[in-house]
Amino acid sequence: MTGKEHKIIKTDELHPVQLKVFFTMIILYTFYFASNYNLGPATKYIQEDFNLNNSEFGILFTIFTLGFGLGQFAAGFLGDRYNPKMLMFAGALGSVAANICFGLSDSMAAFCIFWGINAVSLSMGWSPGCSILFRWIPQKRWGLFMGLFDAFAFLGGIIIYPIAGFSITCFSWRSAFFIPPALLFIWAMVYLFVVKSTPEEAGLSVEWKTGEDEKKQVDLKDYGSILKDPTINLTCTIAVCSQFVRWGLVNWIIKILVESTDLGGFGIALVAAAAIASAMHWGGAFFSIGMGYVSDTVFKGSRWQTIAIGYVISAASLIGVYLAGPSLIAMNGGIAILAIMLFLAGGCIQGVQAPIFNLPGDILGSRLGGTGVGVVNGWSYIGASFAGGTLGFMMDNFGLTSGILLMAVISLLGAVGAVVIRK
The model's pLDDT over 182-226, given as tens digits with 9 standing for 90+, comes to 999 999 999 999 999 888 888 888 887 655 555 677 778 888 888
Average pLDDT over residues 47-51: 88
CA distances in angstroms from 80 to 76, 125, 130, listed in the order given? 6, 13, 10
User: Which pLDDT score, from 0 to 100, does residue 213 have?
Assistant: 52
The answer to the question of residue 134 being in a domain is yes
Q: Packing angle between helix 270-297 and helix 142-170, nearest 10 degrees?
A: 180
In 3D space, the residue among 125, 157, 134, 97 whose CA is nearest the CA of residue 25 turns out to be: 125
Give the whole-angstrom CA distance, residue 400 versus residue 255: 9
In 3D space, the residue among 130, 364, 128 whose CA is nearest the CA of residue 232 turns out to be: 364
The answer to the question of residue 271 being in a domain is yes
- Tell the burial category of 129 from Cβ atoms under 10 Å away from its Cβ (0-12, 13-18, 19+): buried
The set of residues, in sequence order, having a beta carbon less than 8 Å from that of 205 and lying 6+ positions away, is 7, 8, 9, 199
Give φ, ψ of 413 to 5 degrees.
Answer: -65, -35
Give the whole-angstrom CA distance, residue 209 versus residue 213: 10
List pLDDT tens digits, range 305-350: 999 999 999 999 999 988 887 777 778 888 888 999 999 999 999 8
The answer to the question of residue 202 being in a domain is no
First to last CA, the chain: 39
Contacts 24+ apart (CB under 8 A), 227-233: 227/375, 229/363, 229/364, 231/359, 231/363, 231/421, 231/423, 232/359, 232/360, 232/363, 232/364, 232/372, 232/375, 232/376
The answer to the question of residue 21 being in a domain is yes
Domain, as residue range, for 249: 11-197+219-421
The answer to the question of residue 212 being in a domain is no
Inform me whether the pLDDT recorded for 98 exceeds 90: yes
The answer to the question of residue 345 being in a domain is yes
Average pLDDT over residues 144-149: 90
Give the whole-angstrom CA distance, residue 39 versus residue 95: 13
If you count them, how many residues does the chain have?
423
User: How many of the other CB atoms lie within 10 Å of CB of 358?
Assistant: 32
List pLDDT tens digits, range 397-411: 888 888 899 999 999
In total, how many domains does the chain have? Answer: 1
Inform me whether the pLDDT recorded for 369 exceeds 70: yes
Quick one: which H or E segment has residue 8?
Answer: strand 8-9
Residue, of 297 and 367, whose pLDDT is higher: 297
List pLDDT tens digits, range 232-254: 999 999 999 998 998 888 878 88
Give the whole-angstrom CA distance, residue 362 versus residue 139: 8
Question: What single-letter DSSP state applies at residue 335?
Answer: H
Question: What single-letter DSSP state applies at residue 171?
Answer: S
Could you tell me the sign of the dihedral formed by the alpha carbons of 271, 276, 282, 284, in that order? negative
The answer to the question of residue 292 being in a domain is yes
Domain CATH number, residue 178: 1.20.1250.20
Q: Position 132: which residue type?
A: I
Q: pTM of whole model > 0.95? A: no
Give the whole-angstrom CA distance, residue 167 versus residue 233: 42
Out of 66-75, 104-113, 234-243, 310-319, pick the least confident: 66-75
The answer to the question of residue 155 being in a domain is yes
Give the whole-angstrom CA distance, residue 380 versus residue 71: 12
